[in-house]
Every structure is written in C-alpha cells, then in structure tokens.
Structure 1
Amino acid sequence: MIQILGITNDLCQALQRKSQDILNAMHLVSNTKILIQKLRDDGWENLLQQVLLFCNNHDIEVPNMEDHYIYGRGRFRQPKDRVTNLHYFRYDVFIAAIDSQLHELDFRFNDEMIELLSLSSSLDPKRKFQNFKADDIYKLVSKFYPADFTEQEELNLKKHTQLDSLKSIYDLCRWLAETEKGEIYYLIDRLRAFSAMKLIKTALRNRMEDDYLTDSLIVYVQKGIAKEFDIDLIIDEFASKKDRRSILKISKTNK
C-alpha cells in the first residue's frame, strides 16, 4: 500500500495546487496510471523480497507461501478455497488493492475526460493563453460540442489556416479585428473583457463609480499600451487640473 501511495502522492499534491495547469495535471494522471500498472505487472517480487527482509530483521514468522491459506483465528480457522498463501497475498491482496486504485482513477479520469481536459487547456488563460492551439479548438468543437456550433462555424474554423499561426487569445482578437470578423464573432473580445473584469472588480471597486472601473479595465486589458505611459506626464496632467491637497511629485531644487 505504501508503494501505491508513493506513486499517487505527486498526483494528489498537484491536483490540490491552485496554480497547477490542466495540461500538466493530465500528464500526471497518465503517468500515474502507467506507473501503477507497471507496479501491478512487475512489482510483486520486489515487494515480497522487501517484506521477507523486514520480517527477518524483526524476528517475525513468515508463513510458507506454498501452504494453503488459513483465514480466521483460533478454532474458527479454516482453509480458504484451497488457495495457497502465495495466491492469496499476491492476487487477493496485492493485485486487488492495485486494481481498486486503477478503477478509481479510470472512473474519475477516463480516456474521454483526459482528452476533453487536454484540449480545453488551449483555453487556459495563464501566461497569456500560451497553450492556445487552433487545431485543438477545432477538435474540441467537433468532438465534444457539436450541438453548440453550426456546420458553417466549424468549417470556417477549419478553413482559416491563418489561425494556425496565432499564439494567444490576444492574437486571435487582433486577427478578428483586422479581418473584420469581430462583427460576426463578437463574443471573443467581450469574453476577454469579462475575464479581466473578474480580476479588476474587487469588493472595494464595487463601491466606486463605473467610470473608474472602465478606466481600470482599459489599463489592465491594454497592458502593452499602458507600458508606454510616462508616469511623470500623468502626474503633471493630474496636478494641472486643479490644486490638490497633497503633492504627488516633489520638485527637484538645486541646493
């Protein structure tokens, strides 16, 4: 059991981390299944040797593996279906425990679910949608969401080879604007704005005016443009509007 827990520990820890991205998690699931299956096929002899060594070091009696397994205690002890100790410990305990773990993993992460989550990783917003792939989006639409998209929309996605060169959702929004397809697929940039709004609209900003929220969203969404802003010019413009109670910038004077 400790060997099974050792294999699944990395997966359990990874799934509990909020920073874990979908694709890495699915790779860990696949690797965990492979390692557990390998333990099932080739791990018995190694485990048996470890158990025998432990028993010998601690003066624990080891039953003869060729004898019939006896279950129960005291006068209620009796042979179990005429199976040997080796058969019982290997198949009824060792392999049964591993099969139970594999069944649970297959139930929670079957092949179809892993494929769905792996393809969905293309929509992961982390690192500016670095995992965005047009081909994965097409597979996701055609295989898992055929009822949500028309044949025309699927064909448009497949025929536009320019989508293959897009590296992020921002490139997609720019391409939609340049080709004027943003008027047709207008939800893309809206979803981008709503995604940013969830980060910007905190409890404090909920009590502020909509204009302030709008200004904050513009700066957050258009980060590339915002980096070009000169802070000193902004402060000077702010100070020139009217007298302020506090000084934002201390003038440099020659001593």
Structure 2
Amino acid sequence: MSCLNPSNSFSAYNKEKLIRLAELYSVDFSIVELVALEHQLSTYILDMRSSEEFSSLDNIADLAKQFVKAKKDIVYPLVHQLLVLALTLPVTTATVKRAFSAMKIVKHRLHSKMGDDWLNDCLVPYIEKEVFDLVPNEAVMQHYQKMQNRMQSL
C-alpha cells in the first residue's frame, strides 16, 4: 500500500507490487482488468507526477479524496478501485484479528464443547460489543420472560 503513497512525488511507487496486490484479489479484478490496470498504472503515475494538485499530498487518504475531486476516478477506474482496496485493508484486517481473538477467548472458556452455530451465536455479542451495549438489559429480560415454555411432557 505504500506503493500508492503520494509523498515525495510518489517515490515509493512500484507498479509490479500494485499489480501483484490486484492479482491477490481476483474477485475484485478479472484477468482482463489486470491487463487494463497495468496500462492505467503506467499512465496514472505520469499524470500524478506531472500534476501540481497531487504533488503536495502526503498520504493515501488525501490522494483518494483529491482523486475523486479531480474526477480521476473516471479516467482511471481500476486505479481508483485499487486505492479503495488499499484504504479498506487495514480496517478489514483489524476486524478479522479481533474476531479471531474473541473466538479464542470464548472457545477456550467453553472448553471446545460447542457446535459452529452455537459458537457463532456466542461470538456475535462478544465481537459487536458497541451495538449490544445500546440494548438495555431490561429489554432482554422482558423478551425472555415473554417467551413460552418450550419444555414438553413425554
């Protein structure tokens, strides 16, 4: 992702690494798009280095904003797609790490005696704490009190 960093007139730019990143995300980039991306990247870097409005940028987030503002996302749609991917990867990675960390804690506490569905049901409130903190305990208690008895006589 540092290959897209606009600081020092895109000094960290590396076309091969950017194409490799796109290849890793074959769901987002087809084979035809990869070929087109290679051509777009060649033109893109020349355009960015010669443009005054992009020379003063310091990070990828500012680049993405200016990219859309200057309507370069229309000229270089695949490069824009790569920029969006580069901006979302850190967030996605952190979320996955947090989920696995939570799973490790919950699974350990229950000594691995549960099925996948039950594990998933236990993990959702643990991982999404911010959402579940907004639900008052009284509302949960009332919901369970209103449920009918599920036990039946044999």
TM-score, normalised via structure 1 length: 0.27
TM-score, normalised via structure 2 length: 0.41
Larger helix share, 1 or 2: 2
Larger strand share, 1 or 2: 1
